[in-house]
Structure 1
Amino acid sequence: MTDSWVPPAGSWASSAARRRNMQAIRSRDTKPEQLIRRLVHAQGLRYRVAAKPLPDLRRTADMVFRPARVAVFIDGCYWHGCPRHYVSPKTNPGYWSAKVAGNVARDRDTDQRLMNAGWTVLRFWEHESADECAAQIIATVMRNRGAEQS
């Protein structure tokens, strides 16, 4: 094995090891998502996973309750700039800080677009209590379902 690794054209990876590490990060079905989904499902609610709430919006929510018009996002502390847990990286901080800032801006834009279309947006941090998140999701979906039947 040689130390002459060259990143693919356009790659952001600073090394082969970094590239492997970044490729292993899941964008869906994370442990916090799975736990919250399991709790919500156990209460009899059904939803779409990693679905687009709006057909013309090229963004997906972690859980989508279409009839109740509720979109749920479970955000990772690093990738979405958690005010409590985000720490700027030591390697290539300019790139990664700009990337996270872009993610935060896109999150706010997504929230606004969904709210303008009449959706309720729920966002949770990965470190929040799964029981509390599930309870809030269930209450919101049930409330919205009641409003649609009125």
Structure 2
Amino acid sequence: MADIVDAATRSRMMSGIRGGNTKPEILVRSILHRHGFRFRLHVRNLPGKPDIVLPRYHAVIFVNGCFWHGHDCHLFRMPKTREAFWSEKIGRNQFNDQKNREALIAANWRVGVVWECAIRGKGKDIDSIALCLSEWLHSEEETIEVKG
């Protein structure tokens, strides 16, 4: 199936997609801050440059977009054009996610992942996400995954 827009328009559209400070990420930061958690952002010397780092709890949180990280949910659909390219790209992202998660755990960091599908859409209960993250941060659990 051919793309519905020309190459220049598609390029402009794709260049507008940000890698950091996305709406889901800002929402999770807002939730944490409202509940009294203080954190650092995008710490470069940690594997994967986590979106949110909570040094006091020795925990990091990644806020992953369902499309870019190939999450098995209603928000992810493999593109019909350039399937080999997208399959390789998303597979590489998933491999890097796993490698970074393992490196962080090996360095005694606790790792949390909040998926975009947990946040996006009508009727999403943001307070339950806050409660879930808060309970995890105050626990001894090594990992958490919040998904929709």
What TM-score results when the alignment is normalised by the length of structure 2?
0.79
| Larger deviation, residues 128-137 vs 92-101 | 128-137
| 1:20 and 2:24 are equivalent in the alignment | no
Task: Give the Cα–Cα distance (whole angstroms) in 2 for the partners of residues 19 and 99 of structure 1.
Answer: 16
Deviation at residue 56 of structure 1 after TM alignment: 6.0
| 1:131 and 2:146 are equivalent in the alignment | no
Match of 1:77 in 2: 66
Runs of 4+ more than 4 Å apart: none
Match of 1:6 in 2: none
Match of 1:90 among 77, 80, 97: 80
Match of 1:61, SS state, is: coil
Task: Give the Cα–Cα distance (whole angstroms) in 1 for the partners of residues 131 and 15 of structure 2.
Answer: 33
Tell me, yes or no, if the aligned pair for 1:36 and 1:131 is still in contact at 8 Å. Answer: no
Task: Give the Cα–Cα distance (whole angstroms) in 1 for the partners of residues 15 and 87 of structure 2.
Answer: 18
Deviation at residue 132 of structure 1 after TM alignment: 3.0
Tell me, yes or no, if the aligned pair for 2:25 and 2:63 is still in contact at 8 Å. Answer: yes
Task: Give the Cα–Cα distance (whole angstroms) in 2 for the partners of residues 94 and 43 of structure 1.
Answer: 43
What TM-score results when the alignment is normalised by the length of structure 1?
0.78
Match of 2:136 among 134, 137, 140: 140
Match of 1:115 in 2: 105
Match of 2:52, SS state, is: strand
Gaps of 5+ in 1: 1-13, 145-150
Match of 2:51, SS state, is: strand
Match of 2:19, SS state, is: coil
1:71-126: CA deviation from partner (whole Å, max 9, x where unpaired): 10111010000111321111111101110000001001111000111111001210
Cα gap change, 1:119 to 1:102, in 2 (>3 Å):
same
Q: For 1:105, give the aligned amino acid.
A: F
Match of 2:143 in 1: none
- Highest Rg: 1 or 2? 1
Count of matched residue positions in the alignment of Structure 1 and Structure 2 = 128
